[in-house]
Amino acid sequence: MAKERSKLQNNAELIALKSLIGTIGALPLETSMRFGKSVGRFFGNRFPKLRKTARRNLEIAMPELSSDEKNRIIVGMFESLGRHLGFVSHFRKFQHEDVRDLIELVGRENFLEVHPRGKGVLFFTGHFGSWEVFNLLPPAFGYGMNILVRRIDNPLVEGFVDQMRTRFGSVTLDKTKSARTMFRVLKKGELLGILADLNVQEKEGVFVDFFGVPASTTTSIAKLALATGAAILPAFAVWEEEKRKYVVYVEPEIKYDPDDNSDEAVRRLTQEITSVVEQFVRKYPEQWLWIHKRWNTRPKGEKGLY
C-alpha cells in the first residue's frame, strides 16, 4: 500500500511545479526552451542515481559505445528533457494555429489512409523529444484524441497537469482503470495514444527483444488492435536541430492478421512495435528517456540487470 500523502506535501509540490512552469513559461518560447535545456543540465548534475541508471541502460543497449559517447548521450537526454519542459510551459498559451505552425508533421498521409476505415487508430509512441505534444496535435487538426496515462500520485499536481493535457479537448484515460473504455473508443473509430517503451510487470506484458535483450513490454496495443481491428500507427515527436523545431513522424501502419489472436500473434506484434521504438532510439539516442529502468523485469530465474 502506498504511503498516504499529506496535504502539506501535495500543496508544496503543486506550488513548486507551478512556480517552475510559470517562471519558464513567462519567457518567449525559444528562450524558454533554451533555458529549459540549462535547467535539464542542472538537474542532471544533481541526481547521480538517475545518471547511474542512464549509464547502465546504455551499457545494456549499446555496450560498444565509448565512455565519452555515453556521457554525451546522457547530457543530451537531460537537455532534451529540459527543452521539453520549456515547450510544455507554453501549452496553456497555445492556440490551434500555434501548434500547427510550431510542429512539423511528416507522414500525415499514413494517418489519412487508415482513419476512414472507421475502426479506430492506435497511435503508439515513446518518451522522445516532446511526447506530450500528442495531447494537442490531433485536436489542432480537428480530430479528437484519447491518451492513456498513469495518474500522478499527487492529486493536485495531477489536476494541474491534466488541465494542460486536455485544454484542446483531448481525454486522458487512467491506465489502471480504462480497459473497457479503450475498447469502446476504438470501436467508435476514435484515436487512442499509448506509450510503448516502458518496463511492465511480467503479468502485464510479454518478453520481446529490445536492443537484443529481453524486455518486458506491454501487450495492450497488440491485444486492443486484435480485438477491435484498429490500425496501428507509430508516431514520434523529436527535436530536429537543423529545423529548430519539433517534428512529428507518423510512420506507415504496422500490418497484422486480424483473424489471428493467438498468444504468438500478440508476441509477434508486440515485437514489431518494440522494434520500431528501437529504431527511433538508435536514431535519436539523446532524446530517449534513459533514466527509466527499461529492463528491470527479468524472466524467471534470470539475475537482475540493475
- Could you please report the per-residue DSSP string of 91-110? GGG--HHHHHHHEEEE-HHH
- The answer to whether residue 229 sits within a structural domain is yes
> Which H or E element spans position 73?
helix 67-88
Report the relative pairing of strands 103-106 and 245-250 from DSSP bridges: parallel
Distances in Å between the alpha carbon of 261 and those of 209, 223, 224? 20, 8, 10
Q: Is residue 38 part of a domain?
A: no
C-alpha cell at 57: 541502460
Answer yes or no: is 48 within a domain: no
Q: Is 27 exposed, middle or buried (0-12, 13-18, 19+ CB in 10 A)?
A: middle
Query: For residue 260, is it within any domain?
Result: yes
Q: How far is CA 130 from the centre of its chain?
A: 8
- Count up the domains in the chain and report the number: 1
Residue 210 lies in a domain: yes
Burial status of residue 152 (CB atoms within 10 A of its CB: 0-12, 13-18, 19 or more): middle
d(CA 290, CA 30): 25
The DSSP output letter for 229 is -
Within-domain flag for 173: yes
User: What is the phi/psi pair of residue 144, to 5°?
Assistant: -70, 155
In a domain, 174, yes or no: yes
**Measured between alpha carbons, how far is 145 from 194 in angstroms, rounded to an integer?**
11
pLDDT tens digit at each of 306 positions of the chain? 456 778 999 999 999 999 999 999 999 999 999 999 999 999 999 999 999 999 999 999 999 999 999 999 999 999 999 999 999 999 999 999 999 999 999 999 999 999 999 999 999 999 999 999 999 999 999 999 999 999 999 999 999 999 999 999 999 999 888 889 999 999 999 999 999 999 999 999 999 999 999 999 999 999 999 999 999 999 999 999 999 999 999 999 999 999 999 999 999 999 999 999 999 999 999 999 999 999 999 999 999 999
Domain assignment of residue 135, yes or no:
yes
User: The domain containing residue 218 runs over which residues?
Assistant: 94-287
Report yes or no: 223 and 266 within 8 Å, Cβ to Cβ.
yes
